[in-house]
Chain A
Amino acid sequence: MSPHPMIEIRGVQKWFGRLHVLRGVTLSVKEGEVVVIAGASGSGKSTLLRCLNGLEKIQQGEIWVDGVPIHDKRTNLNRIRQKIGIVFQSYNLFPHMTVLRNIILGPVVVKGVPPRQVYGRALQLLRRIGIADKANAYPDQLSGGQRQRVAIVRALAMEPKVMLFDEPTSALDPEMIKEVLDLMRELAQEKMTMIVVTHEMGFAREVADRIAFMADGQIIEIAPPEEFFAHPKDERTRRFIEKILAV
């Protein structure tokens, strides 16, 4: 275990214009840890995630990923982003490229790896998710679940140290959610450091090392799953859990 945490978030504040979306978020994630972030929409979960790879700028506080200061203007974000994979709710595959090219584009363009060397690994990743036969298909020929798994594999092809998931199953039909969560579960078992924004509390209970609950731009509660579900301290967490369990 490395002495420094893989992700260190300290007192982060963010405004969208006059809207105060992050009000002092502090969170530390160790290497190999899986943290699930839950919370109502508008609580700032996705924004927090997007701040971690610099897609959104923060106005106050510090964010360190693998020892690199994301909040620092002098940081080369392109370099640190290679180590941070991110998966979006709407997959965001490149529609004009085949599945295979979607996967190898990052390593080839960003890292300068010869395409031939990436093909093997890309195909291996596709075999792993069981759609090697779709290597030459275009994204619009895949199901939602397949697209999202390709998006995960595309991020993995960069060999990141951290994976961020922004509601990866929210746009999926129920029968496809499992195949995506299964892949994420495998990654967790392989000790990938992960932050997952999701409403899938079954997944959180089973896979997360800790669950963080966000409301009004703050993490108001963070605890291992058993404790989180059994003894929520904050009233808002309690209400959230009741609602989730009622479904």
Chain B
Amino acid sequence: MTPEMRGEAIGWARAYQLLKIAGRVLFSAALVTGTLLAIYGILSQSYPFRWRPALQDLDAFHQGLLRTLQISLVSMVFGTALGLLIALARLAPFALLRDMGALYVHTLRNIPFLVFILFMYFGVARSVIPTGAYVPLFGWELDARLFWGVVALSLFEASFISEILRAGILSIHPTQMESARSLGMNYLQALRYVILPQAFRNILPPLTGELIALVKESALLMIISLPELTLTAKQLASQKPLQFEFYTILAAYYLVITLPLAALSHLLERRLKLGGRE
């Protein structure tokens, strides 16, 4: 075979591979759509869906979506930052720090989030700021429900995220830390440039899973009347006889947030895999 012929053969092989993948994706999409349509068909025999009036309230859903996104993103940032600190505390050479970290993780991980929200909002919040619907923060007046909602979600998720980060850090062989320190890096530099980038690559799937869980858990914040997606749907459903429609829309909106998150993680995972691995 000449090199040109080989190149051509490889080209065809790749085209065939792509075709196969595209076929699989299309097939799965058709399968899912078909199944959903079938279920919808059966359900609409007994329940007359009325989409037009339901869709008139999409603006309210958008408001709720924005609020949920806002809460989730801020909690992701704070939850991950705090989670990292706790993970580091649990890996610290001082028993006191390790114990405090363990105490934090084991208490928070083992109570229901709903209970923690009630504890924070009707317990801690009320005793810290006895009255007032607003929390002053750096010159802003923050809605107390929003503030405490984000605080509760961040604190709670930090306990889960810290365990994932700790596992990630432990998955990197100690010789990596040693050789970074041997170059004269301090602990934080070694962590920042050598350990965490490698740990991140290892924990990307469970970390994404946890961030998706965070988005889903934000729904429970409706219990403190935080007008996020779920509360929005709940209120609409109590005003109009379109419950099924509203809750279907609600579910779809959560997928709008979580599915791209999962896809992003998948892409990132593939990209990071291209970088070398020893």
Contacts and interface: CB of A to CB of B under 8 A. Distances in A.
A83 to B, nearest CB: 8
A34 to B, nearest CB: 20
Nearest to A111: B184
Question: What is the predominant secondary structure among interface residues of chain B facing chain A?
Answer: helix
Contact of B277 (A88, A110, A140): A140
Contacts, number: 76
Contact of B185 (A84, A96, A97, A110): A110
Interface stretch (B101-109, B174-182, B256-264): B174-182
B54 interface: no
A96 to B, nearest CB: 5
Contact of A139 (B178, B185, B189, B276): B276
A224 interface: no
Contact of A110 (B175, B184, B201): B184
A92 interface: yes
Contact of B184 (A55, A79, A88, A138): A79
A81 B184 contact: yes
Contacts of B181: 55, 78, 81
A141 interface: yes
Given A93-B278, A96-B197, A138-B275, A106 B176 contact: no
Interface in A64-114: 78-79, 81-82, 84-86, 88, 90, 92-98, 105-106, 109-111
Contacts of A53: 182
Contacts of A85: 182
Contacts of A96: 197-198, 201, 275-277
Q: How large is the interface on B (under 10, 10 to 19, 20 to 34, 35 or more residues)?
A: 20 to 34
Interface residues of A, number: 31
Interface string A23-63: 00000000000000000000000000000010100000000
Contact of A140 (B186, B198, B201, B276): B276
Interface of A: 53, 55, 78-79, 81-82, 84-86, 88, 90, 92-98, 105-106, 109-111, 137-141, 154-155, 158
Interface of B: 175-176, 178-186, 189, 193-194, 197-198, 201, 275-278
Counting from the closest, the 4 A-B pairs by CB-CB distance are: A138-B276, A95-B278, A92-B179, A106-B183
25 contacts: A55-B178, A78-B181, A78-B184, A78-B186, A79-B184, A81-B183, A81-B184, A82-B184, A88-B178, A92-B175, A92-B178, A93-B179, A93-B278, A94-B179, A95-B198, A95-B278, A97-B276, A98-B276, A105-B193, A109-B193, A110-B189, A140-B278, A155-B182, A158-B183, A158-B184
